[in-house]
Amino acid sequence: MLAGVCAILFGFLGQGPPGTPFIVMSFLVRAVEAIGVAAFSTASFAIVSNEFPYHIGSVFATLETCVGIGLMIGPTIGGALYELGGFGMPFWIIGVIICSSGLTIMICLPHPQDTLKQKNGSILSLFRSVMVWVSSLSIFAGACGISYLNPTLSDHLDQFGLSTLLVGLFFIICPGLHAILAPVWGYISDRKVRHSVTLTDFWKSGRHHSTFICWTNTTSTFFT
């Protein structure tokens, strides 16, 4: 609910004074919205883990597939809404959808039932776990590998004179493959080979990103 309300409020900022007030209010609204997004993202993972304790990999992969689909169609729908109703329309629509989804979940979500034995421990013991740090590092590296393309790829593609459609297709490749392959990796993780999957992904991700950096530097030198 907090994220939805902040999204709606952000849509009204375009009608306010420009300059410094707009920047300050944008940071404040988005910061509060980030708190709401972090809350419902964490809660959603915790809920599905409790509801499907024996199929965590597959269920998480399904959630990641939904994320990938949203990343693919979100910019297209947002652009269409912007053309239709201006700056505020995309934020108002997504805010209403988030608020409606929150109310629906509050009504329909079943009462939690702990079916597995839980171990009591402190936060410090959690941070002392090697697997927690390895998992956190893999998530951090994966997020960086995806997000760093957003501010850099479009500027790099400008030198090739590509159309807007082709540039948009470049940004669909990553979330598209993410949505397609997430269920596959989730199924593999449920087969008790998590360590092998993590190590393999680390190696492939590092190799591919290194190759991409070298290729980018080479093509930049060639075309300049």
Distance CA 61, CA 200 (A): 17
Residues 6+ apart with CB under 8 A from 145: 205, 209
The predicted structure's pLDDT at residue 219: 45
Buried b / exposed e over 126-154, threshold 16 CB at 10 Å, is eeeeeeeeeeeebeeeeeeeeeeeeeeee
The predicted structure's pLDDT at residue 8: 92
Measure the CA angle with vertex 72, ends 158 and 15; round to 5°: 75
The predicted structure's pLDDT at residue 118: 60
The predicted structure's pLDDT at residue 205: 54
Question: Residue 220: in which H helix or E strand, if any?
Answer: helix 194-223
- The stretches in the chain having pLDDT less than 50 are 212, 215-224
The closest of 122, 87, 75 to 7, measured between CA atoms, is 87
The predicted structure's pLDDT at residue 31: 93
Measure the CA angle with vertex 38, ends 36 and 40; round to 5°: 70
Q: pTM score, two decimals?
A: 0.65
